[in-house]
Structure 1
Amino acid sequence: MPIPSDTHGSLAELHGFGTDPGALSAETYIPENFPKNGPLVVVLHGSTQSPESYDLGSGWSTLADECGIALLFPGQRNSNNALGSFNWFKSGDIHRDRGEPLSICQMIKQVVDDHAVDPSRIFITGMSSGGAMTSVMLATYPEVFAGGAIIAGLPYRSAENLMEALVRMKGYGGPSDRTLDAHVRDASDFRGRWPTISVWHGGSDKTVDSSNADSIVRQWQKIHDVEGPPTRVEKVDGFPHKVWCDDTGRAVIEEYMITDMGHGTPISAEGAEGLGEASKFMLEVGISSTRHIAKFWGLTQ
């Protein structure tokens, strides 16, 4: 039996979720209106952030109250990474059944068991190092997730040490498209229906170059059998939006490039539909990535 949770503000700490080889923390938000067989969204914070600060900025718990969504917030410890970043580039933390990915998977299982989550409606999102770890989770445990959203992140196994990570973040070098595709296919034995992919990036990001967004799209195009130009190109809330649909018409990859935005999560905090709160790396640009991601996953109307 798991140890009872301790409440800290709006998030509750999750204990006893497994062996936790990545030595991560875990917090949850389960709204009062969460239904049996409801969905779960896993939310990964960025460097120098905490689960609480990322939730406040992104507005996920507010949306969870609106729509009856369970939330899980894995947290990094400074003892693992001085900047509080998920270790998306370390060999011990980028493979299935090891390190941080296994810890996150153990957390998910505990929340699914504790709250009767629908295992076919589990999603994951993250920003910066959390976005890069989202890439890791989607590749290493594709059977767990129906969809993922990578914000200001990088492709899976684009770097495998700190020096490579710093170079890739600036948009230099990196594996070929063929190698990136092979990395995902080799990360597990999965050959079923792959998770859908939502990619968000600032066009003026000086921390993680926006070329990484295009690399993420290309990493998943062949996986989803949607190589080539997008099915449609449009503007949403004034920003370029590309969508790739499979041969059934289902949208399987989307990309938002937020023109002139720097490094961070796009939010829209104003008005009746406003979510979140602007702060460092939580950038008020007039489009809520949280709302649009949830809509892409079919969690909102």
Structure 2
Amino acid sequence: MVTRMRRSHGVDPARIFITGLSAGGAMTAVMLATYPEVFAGGGIIAGLPFGAASDVRHVMAAMKKPRASTPQEWGDLVRSASAHTGRRPTVSIWHGTHDGTVAVANADALLSQWTNVHGLPEATFAQTVVAGHCRRTWLNKKGEVVVELTLIEGMGHGTPVRRTKAQASAGDAGPFMLDVGLSSSLHLARSWDLVSRRASSNRR
């Protein structure tokens, strides 16, 4: 499907990204691991690390508590998922600290997995606060952000959004769209250079 869209619409193959929430977040991790040559990056929101489970029973267990694995073991699962040896997609991980559906420990496991895949020490990162929420970034040797983790303080299970006054007056946000004053979609679009910062400055 991605190839069909790319060919039909003249999409730059170096600017293809994927993102998803919950089961979609887990599938995003699957796609990044199994088709790393297709995607430049991905946003995993309240998802599971690749290889966390192989059937429904284990998925339910992993949602509550990911299995104990070393960063190397998590990383090896990704490396063994394809024959790819080139660059790996950038990964942006988002999770609410009060998520009662998918435990925030899965964000930690995802972080261990993808920092290992990128060959980065998990303990070496830069930390900032964005709209009151913790954001950590890991850079490659070129100084580019290749892994990032944003923890949304107090948020449950859903996608973080920031509604404008006009949107707020239209009614409540949809299911699993949680207004926390920070939009993961807009942040991802900016970091992937899909929208200009100037054009989106009023829609944070």
Give TM-score scaled by structure 2 length: 0.90
Task: Letter of the 1:290 partner, please give it.
Answer: S
Deviation at 1:174, TM superposition (A): 4.6
RMSD: 1.6
Q: 5 Å matches for 1:1-301?
A: 107-271=1-165, 278-300=173-195, 301=197
Contact 1:158 1:175 in 2 (8 A): no
Instruction: In structure 2, list runs of 5 or more residues that go unmatched.
Output: 198-204
Q: Which has the higher helix share?
A: 2
Identity, % of aligned positions: 45
Report the alpha carbon displacement of residue 247 of structure 1 after superposing the two structures with TM. 1.6
- Aligned-partner residue type, residue 123 of structure 1: F
Structure 1 contact 131–151 (Cα < 8 Å) conserved: yes
Q: What do the CA deviations read for 1:6-61 (whole angstroms, capped 9, x no partner)?
A: xxxxxxxxxxxxxxxxxxxxxxxxxxxxxxxxxxxxxxxxxxxxxxxxxxxxxxxx
Aligned to 1:87: none
Q: Distance in 1 between matches of 2:148 and 2:58?
A: 27
Rate the CA distance shift 1:273–1:229 in 2: closer, same or farther, 3 A: farther
Structure 1: how far apart are the matches of 2:120 and 2:56?
Answer: 32
Structure with higher Rg: it is: 1
CA contact (8 A) 1:246 1:252 kept: yes
SS in 2 for 1:252: strand
Poorly superposed stretches of 4+, deviation over 3 Å:
271-274
**SS of the residue aligned with 1:217?**
helix
Aligned residues: 193
Q: Which position in structure 1 is the counterpart of 2:200?
A: none
Distance in 1 between the 2:68 and 2:165 partners?
Answer: 41
Q: CA, structure 1 residues 273+244, in 2 after alignment: closer, same or farther (shift >3 Å)?
A: farther
Aligned-partner SS, 2:79: helix
Moved more, 238-247 or 172-181: 172-181
Q: Distance in 2 between matches of 1:260 and 1:111?
A: 38
Separation (CA, whole Å) in 2 of partners of 1:148 and 1:219: 14
The C-alpha deviation readout for 1:219-275, integer Å capped at 9, x for no partner, is 01121121132431010111100000012111100110001100000011114899x
Give the distance between the partners of 1:172 and 1:256, measured in 2 at CA. Answer: 19
SS at match of 1:253: strand
TM-score, normalisation: structure 1: 0.62
